[in-house]
Structures are given as C-alpha cells and as structure tokens.
Structure 1
C-alpha cells in the first residue's frame, strides 16, 4: 500500500488482520497514532516510513507483536511519553530504522532490551547523548550502525570487548570532542566502512587502524586531526578503495616510501599542511579515479608517473606551490573529466595536446602564469566550466570553444587577450556566465550575445570596446540559470564521500567592490558590467527587460542622452553605477521605487534638475553619488533655491579648464613683459638723445642708492661689530 497518496488516520478495521505478516504503508500522507496496529500479532515486517504518524519512543503499541523483526518508521514524529514504560517489549528486532524523526531527545528506551539487532539506522535525529556503546555490548551480531547527524556529543567510547561482526559504522556530523581511541582497530577489526567526518576529533590518527584488513572506506575528514599519516595504515589497510582525510591539520610528507594501497580509487587529502613533492609512492595506486591534493603546501613539478593512471577522471592540485610547465602528456589521459590546478606557479604555453581530452567537463587553470595563445583546436564537446582567469594568455580567440555547446561558465578574465569578441560565442546557447573583463578586446559588443537565452552574468569591463550597447542584450531571471550548472552543483552536493567538492569561485564587481562568488550562491547572481570601455550612444530603453538584474555597471564610458525611465522597472536591482559618462537631463523621480537599491552613482555626468526624493533607499546615498554634476540640486546636495554651482561639485572638466586658464595667463604675462623690454631697447638704440638721457637717469638713481646706504645702513653694521 506504499506510494498511494493515502491520507487520514489508520482505520479500526486493522484490528481484524491478525494473520498479517507484512505491512507496508510507507510514503503516504497518513497521520495520527498507530494504536490500530497493536493487534497484528503475526507481523514480521512493518514499514511506516515517510508519513505523519506520531509514534511513542517506547514503541508501546507494538509491545505484543512478538514476531516483529523489521521495523521502519523514518520521517515520522517520535515523541517521548510523560511516563516511561517499565515493561520490556516482547519482540526482538533484527532491523530498526528511525532516521529523520526530529527532536527525540534521547535514545528510545526499548533499544536497551534488544539483543539480536543486525542493522540500526538512527541518523538525522537529535539525541543529545554520548555514543551508545551499549548497543554493541548488547548485540553481538550487530553488523550495521548508522548514527550520522544525530547530535551525539562528548567522548567516543568503544565497547568493552572486540566486536567482530560490525562492518559499517557512521558517526559523522556529530559533536564528539576527543581523541580517536588508540585501540579502535583492535576493538572493531571487521569494519569495511568507517565514517567519522565532521566532528571535533583531535590528536593523531591511531596506527591501529592499520589492523582493519577488511576496511574499504575510511572518512576522517573535517576534524582537528594532526601529525602525519601512519605508515601502518598505508600498509595494513590494503583493501581500501576510498580514503578521505580532508580538512584536518595533518602535516609533513604525504606518504612514506612504503604504500600498499593498490586498490585505492578515491584519495582526498585536501585542506591539510602536507609539504614536499607529490610522493612517487602514489604511483602504485594505478586504479585511482579521483585524486584531490588541493590546499596543501606541495611543491615541485607534476610527476610524470601520473601519465600511467589510465582510470583517473578527477584531478585537483589547486592551491599549492607547484611549478613548471603544464605537462603535455596529460593530453593522453583520455578519461580525465575534471582538471583543477588553479593558484600554483605553473607556466609555459597552454598544451595543444589538451585538444585530445574529448570527455573533459571542467578545466580550472586560473591564477597561474600560463602564456601564449589558446589553441583553436581546443573545443571539448562536453565541457561545462572553463576557468583561465589571471594568467598571461594573449592573442585573439579564434575557433576555441566554438563546439563546446554545453559550456555554462567561461572565465577568461584578467589576461592579455586581443582582437574582437568572437561571434561564435552566440552559439553557446547554454552559457550562463561570461567573464572577459580586464583584457584588450576591441570593436563592438557582438549582437550575437543576444542569442544567449541562459545568460545570467556578463562582465566585459576594462577593455577597449566601442560602439553602442545592443538593445537586445538580456540576462535570465534569477534561478533560471543553466540547468547544466545546477545539475553539476547538485551532483557534487550528493557525492557519496561528502568531502570532495570542486567549488570554483567567480569574481564580479558589485557596489564598487570585487567579490568572489561560488557554489549555489551563483544561482542567485545576475548582472551586467560594461564599465571602463569606450561605449557611445544612449542607454537603450530596453533595459526594462532586465527585470531581475542584481547589478548593472555602465560607468566610465562615453554614453550620452538621458537616464531611461525604464530603470524604474528594475525592482530587484541592488547596485546601479552610471558614473563618469556624459549623461544629461534629469534623474527619473520614479527611481525612488527601487527599494532593493543599496548602491547608486551618477557622479561626473551632465545631469541637471533635482535629485530623487530624499526617501526610502535614496535617503542612504550621500553627496558622492551625485558629485560632478554642477546643475544638480536637492538633498544631499545644495538646496535648489541656491543659485550657481557649488565649487565642490564642479566636474573634473571644470577643474581642468580652470587650470588651463591660469597657464594661459602666465604665458601671456611673460611674453608681454619680454616684448616691453625689447621695445625699450630698440628705442634707445635708434634715438641717441633718449639713450643719453636714459643713462644719465640710471646714473642718478645709482648715486642716490649709494648715499642712502652709506648714511643709514653701514653705520649700524659698524656699531654692531664694535659691541
């Protein structure tokens, strides 16, 4: 009867089904109590998961179901009775599953009376108690114990005696704050899966884990573990297929020369302090499909032995200190789907051999020193993300990426790329993020960008683009981002290891500040930045179609004409920058209706009239939002009744003109003075009578000056010298 959208409470007719052995009511919308099932004494298996039942933690309604072995009631409400039941239930369960049942507060009391449990699922609850080692002591045959995300706390105490049947233990996402038990390998020798991530375990990794010869998956990520990786672990756990030690405080050399992890398929050592070169001992792990060594202090070149890892599909070496050229032999690793080597010291040209990576889905080589041109043959069909920002790439974009129709993110910002923005970008119909800022692109904005119906963010700032803004340019509404990228983020979030996620950031300028955005936040980001170019013409009135835009920056261009009234339709906009243009006319009063606006600038234009009403968001903008418009008035500027422009609000052009006027004055004065002296000299040279009179006049003045000095100045000096 599962998955039938049944509603209401359980009917009393269930009292008559005394011979029923199996009942499945899961995944419906049933509610109320479960007392109607207390007479089903022949039940062996009962499934009530995914409903709205209210079940007492003692399971008192089922006390008389002596044959019950399997009980599942996940995603219901478990409550604690006001009076604890003193009786023990008649059933002895093999399987109990009560995951995601809310704020239970404590472990259900009936569990203390169970001695034949094989599988226990109690994850995603709120028990607020310590580790229930009594479950292991009381149930010698227990094989599976899942207590993930159950608000467990305190010390992690193992059973008194070794438990040889337990093969699966998950206590991840709790609050244990203690050292890992040094004898964990001796007490739980048969474990095949051990998950203890996202706690507060500290101290070193116990070497006794190396005694777990059957261990296939070990996850100790996101703790406070320190020290190195025990050699006994890397030699003794020869059955390991997955090892995750991410985000701890491990340090030193990554591996010793002795490693016997030949079956390893996934290795996550990111977010630690490992140093030195990538160890050659990893070359024995020939079955690796995922290798994440990011966020360490690894140095040296990328080792050549990686070429022999034919199964490798995900490689993350980002945020280290690796150097040298990007190896050309990587182009022969045909199974590579994700290459992340950002923020290192890699240099040299972009390998042309990467053109052979037909299955590549993600490439991040940003924040390196890669130079030269991008090869025109590089156009992987399945690639969805390309991050090559902050390198030294140069030249024009020819046919690179022209076949990458699934491309969702293209980030080539902060390079030395030249030429025109290619028209074939308009064929990348799934493109959501286009970042070409801080390059040397020229020419106009290609009208083909209007074909990109999934475009959510476009940044073409700090180039040499000219021409007008295409009226058809648009971006998608919030949360209508490329389905490819959403699917990618979702897949990562649901990854079974829970520790590995390629979370590539995107830089975008908002409110005059550059921020990094990554992960699911990108699905809520939409904006256009065309600032710092040479764009001309008027702002198209079609901006009204950008209804869900978050940020718009058109500053530092040569735009003219009025501010379109259509801006008042951008109800979601938070940042609007139109400064440093040649806009004229009045600021539309209806802009006061933009209640989400937190940054606004129309500084250094030729605007006139009154500023918008001093209300709502516009009451938070100061004089800097309007400076450089001498004909503007109203708060926060001068009152409109005051005549004449304020000297503090004069645009840069007025200041520059004043400087030019003063220079002209000084030049004219000097030239006039020189001309006057030359004129007098010419007259004296031509007329002898005037020349004689002039010399007589100069001599008379000289004699007067001499006698004045002799009578008044020299006697005082002699007097001072005799004192």
Structure 2
C-alpha cells in the first residue's frame, strides 16, 4: 500500500511541525509551492521509508542536516527554490544557488539514486567518494563548482552511467562504456582535449561538449575516432591550427560548433561525407580561402555560420540546391562580386546575413522570393541601384538592413506591406 501526503499550491505560511516525523510508513511527501518557513525539522529524516520528497518553491532556510543520508529508499529529493545553506536537490539536482559549502559524505548513502546534479554552485573540497559507489546512477553532473579531486576509479562504481557532466577529467572516463553524453562546459581547466583519445572506447558517445574552456591547443586528430558522435561543441576554447581532416570520419555528426576560436587554414574537403550534418558553425575564427564548394554536398545542412573569418572570392551558385538551409551567416568576410542569383531561390531561408563584405551589383526583383525570411542583412557592402519593389512582399521580415551601401532612389511604396517589421536600417 502506498502512503502519501500532498500540499501543493497552497498558501500554508506556517512551519513544518516536528510531528511529521511520526509518519513512519510514508513513501511520498509533496509540499511544493507553499510559503513554508523555518528549517526542515530533523524528525523528517526518521521517515526511512520515503521514496519521494518534494519541498521546492518555499521559504525554507538553514542547513540541510547530514541525516539526509537516512533516506536510503529515496529516488527523488527536491528542495529547490528555497533559502537552504547547504544544498538543494531536484532528482538530487543541486544547482544555481551559489552555495559555499561542502557536500555531505552521507549523500553517498542514497543508493537508489538515478540522477545526481551538483552543477552551478560554489561547493568546495573533494567530491565524496561514496557518490561514485551509487551503482544506480545514470546521470551525474558536477560542472561549475570548486570541488575537485574526482577519483581515478570513477568508472568502477558507475556501471550504468550514460551522461556525465564534469568539472575535472579523470583518465578513466574512457572505461565508461555506456557513456552517451560528456559535458565539460564552462570550466577553467586547460586539459579538456586530453579526454578525446580515451573516449574512443565509448562506443555509445553521442554528445561531447567542451565549450568555454581555454585549452590553447589544436583539436587532436583522434577526434576522428569518436565514430558514434552526433554532437561536438567546442565554442570559445581558443582552439589553434586547422580543423583536422579526420573530422570527416564522424559520419553520424549532426551538430558541429567550433565558433569563437583561433582556427586557421581552410575548411577541410573531408567534411563532404557528413551527410547528417544539420548545424555547422565555424564563425569568429581566422579561416581563409574561398567558399568551400563541398558544403553544397551536405544535403541536410540547415544552419551554416562562416561569419567573422577571412574568406574571400565569390559565393558559388551551387547554394541554389541547398533548399534545407534556414539560416546562413556569411557576414564579416571579404566575399566579392555580386550576390549570386541562386541565393534568392532559397525560399525556406529564415535568416540571411551577408553584411560587411565587398559584394557589388544591384538587387534583383527575385529578392521577393524569400517569403519565409525574418532577418535580411545586406548592410556594409558596395551594393548599388534601387530597392526592388518586390522587397515589400517579404511580409514575415522582422529585421531588414540595407545600410551603408550605394543604393539610390526612393523607398518603395510596398514597404508599407512589411507588417511585421521591427527594425529597418537604410542609413
């Protein structure tokens, strides 16, 4: 028989009575979204039968007692959105509170736990080793803290882990054979790339997130060994050198984001086999050369960002066949010649930014084909002539900029039909 008590969305402004600890057979206790004040009574930790405890979104305060380790049957503990000074949990999620406390060793007693997140706090000291003996854990997140010293044997007690979000990198990560997600986002270590080679043993790895770690190194060739990878994000890592040609081995890749680094050279031609790629961002680097024609071979590409690089030459007409594109950013390069007529045939494009280049020539009437566009930025080029009247047919446009060109003549009367326009710049 299941015993549970629910107080949800009430305005109970009192404290939690000590007598609640007498409900020895209780399995589920829900007291969310009230205005409960004071501390959590110690007697509540006597209810060893509890499997779920929800007390989020109240005004509880004070430390969370080490007696939390008594909840050996607990699957879910949610004390989020309170003023506790120890930690708070949602499926043992201890995030976004900026607490400066250590993690009690007794958390390791929660042997039924499936998800553990301690991210975005100021926990210091070592992570209790008992946590890594919770064999039921499937997801563990420890990013953005000051706690460190993860055990080198992290793989021994976590046979079922599928997602791990870490703030430091033990070499034994490669032994987590069921690992699907590894998120190292937003830390301060410089060795993030060292994890790549051992991860070749993780045959189920789908997502690798290295973003916002300053590594000052080249992306290793061993990245090509992660054959199951579907998502690779390394934004703002100060990556050096070329994009390795081995990236073309990642045939399952659908998301590749290497934006805001110090990458040089050209886009490797080996990228052409990535037929599943839908998102490619190489913006804000120092990549040079002509527009890579091999990108036209990526049949599922929806978002392409090559902005803020050092690319030059004309845009190839093969883009006409990229009907899958919904966003295209080529701004802040040195592209020349006229804008190819093929671009005006991308009828499904939502955002097109060609600003800050050296494009010349005039705008054709075919600009009116971009019926789905919500952003069109052609500013800071050498475009001349008049504004085509068909521009007024782009009724979904929210932002339009033709500023700092050599355009002349009057503003078409059809601009009155741009009913969704929020920003217009014709400077």
Instruction: For 2:150 and 2:367, locate their aligned partners in 1 and report how far apart those are by CA, in whole Å.
Output: 52
Offset, 1:338: 0.9
Alpha carbons 1:144, 1:166 under 8 Å: kept: yes
Counterpart mapping for 1:115-130 below 5 A: 118-119=3-4, 122=6, 125-129=8-12
Matched residue pairs, number?
Answer: 419
- Tell me: CA distance 1:289–1:156, structure 2 relative to 1, closer, same or farther (3 Å): same
Counterpart in the other structure of 1:313: 180
Aligned match for 1:218, one of 92, 98, 113:
92
Counterpart in the other structure of 1:483: none
> Relative contact order (C-alpha < 8 Å, sep 6+): which is higher?
2
Q: Is residue 584 from structure 1 mapped to residue 408 from structure 2 by the alignment?
A: yes
Offset, 1:584: 2.8
TM (norm. structure 1) is 0.52
Alpha carbons 1:153, 1:177 under 8 Å: kept: yes
Alpha carbons 1:471, 1:541 under 8 Å: kept: no
Counterpart in the other structure of 1:164: 48
Offset, 1:410: 0.9
Aligned match for 2:65, one of 160, 182, 186:
182
Offset, 1:458: 1.0
Instruction: For 2:34 and 2:324, locate their aligned partners in 1 and report how far apart those are by CA, in whole Å.
Output: 41
Alpha carbons 2:312, 2:335 under 8 Å: kept: yes
Instruction: For 2:174 and 2:360, locate their aligned partners in 1 and report how far apart those are by CA, in whole Å.
Output: 52
Counterpart in the other structure of 2:118: 245
- Tell me: CA distance 1:259–1:171, structure 2 relative to 1, closer, same or farther (3 Å): closer
Counterpart mapping for 1:500-511 below 5 A: none
Counterpart in the other structure of 1:290: 163
> What RMSD, in angstroms, separates the aligned Cα atoms of the two structures?
3.3
Alpha carbons 1:136, 1:159 under 8 Å: kept: no
Instruction: For 1:534 and 1:434, locate their aligned partners in 2 and report how far apart those are by CA, in whole Å.
Output: 20
- Tell me: CA distance 1:275–1:404, structure 2 relative to 1, closer, same or farther (3 Å): same
Counterpart in the other structure of 1:557: 381
Offset, 1:600: 2.7
Larger radius of gyration: 1
Counterpart in the other structure of 2:233: 364
Q: Is residue 274 from structure 1 mapped to residue 146 from structure 2 by the alignment?
A: yes
Counterpart in the other structure of 1:354: 223
Offset, 1:229: 1.5
3-state secondary structure, aligned to 2:215: strand
Alpha carbons 1:552, 1:575 under 8 Å: kept: yes
Offset, 1:581: 2.2
Runs in 1 of length 4+ with deviation above 6 angstroms?
131-135
Q: Is residue 329 from structure 1 mapped to residue 198 from structure 2 by the alignment?
A: yes
3-state secondary structure, aligned to 1:552: strand
Aligned match for 1:389, one of 240, 243, 259:
259
Alpha carbons 2:375, 2:400 under 8 Å: kept: yes
Q: Is residue 204 from structure 1 mapped to residue 90 from structure 2 by the alignment?
A: no
Instruction: For 1:286 and 1:470, locate their aligned partners in 2 and report how far apart those are by CA, in whole Å.
Output: 55
Counterpart in the other structure of 1:456: 326
Offset, 1:437: 0.6
Alpha carbons 1:437, 1:461 under 8 Å: kept: yes
Alpha carbons 1:222, 1:246 under 8 Å: kept: yes
Counterpart in the other structure of 1:25: none
Alpha carbons 1:468, 1:536 under 8 Å: kept: yes
Alpha carbons 1:203, 1:224 under 8 Å: kept: no
Instruction: For 1:579 and 1:189, locate their aligned partners in 2 and report how far apart those are by CA, in whole Å.
Output: 64
Counterpart mapping for 1:430-579 below 5 A: 430-473=300-343, 526-579=350-403
CA deviations over 1:343-389 (Å, ceiling 9, x no partner)? 11213222222212222121111112222222334232332221101
Offset, 1:190: 4.1
Between 344-353 and 371-380, the greater mean CA deviation after superposition: 371-380
3-state secondary structure, aligned to 2:172: helix
Instruction: For 1:279 and 1:143, locate their aligned partners in 2 and report how far apart those are by CA, in whole Å.
Output: 33
**For structure 2, which runs of at least 5 residues remain unmatched after alignment?**
none
3-state secondary structure, aligned to 2:245: coil
Alpha carbons 2:73, 2:110 under 8 Å: kept: no
Alpha carbons 1:200, 1:224 under 8 Å: kept: no
3-state secondary structure, aligned to 1:393: coil
Alpha carbons 2:192, 2:215 under 8 Å: kept: yes
CA deviations over 1:479-525 (Å, ceiling 9, x no partner)? xxxxxxxxxxxxxxxxxxxxxxxxxxxxxxxxxxxxxxxxxxxxxxx
Counterpart in the other structure of 2:282: 412
CA deviations over 1:77-113 (Å, ceiling 9, x no partner)? xxxxxxxxxxxxxxxxx6xxxxxxxxxxxxxxxxxxx
- Tell me: CA distance 1:219–1:182, structure 2 relative to 1, closer, same or farther (3 Å): same
Instruction: For 1:277 and 1:545, locate their aligned partners in 2 and report how far apart those are by CA, in whole Å.
Output: 58
Between 194-203 and 129-138, the greater mean CA deviation after superposition: 129-138
TM (norm. structure 2) is 0.85
- Tell me: CA distance 1:198–1:407, structure 2 relative to 1, closer, same or farther (3 Å): farther
Offset, 1:460: 0.2
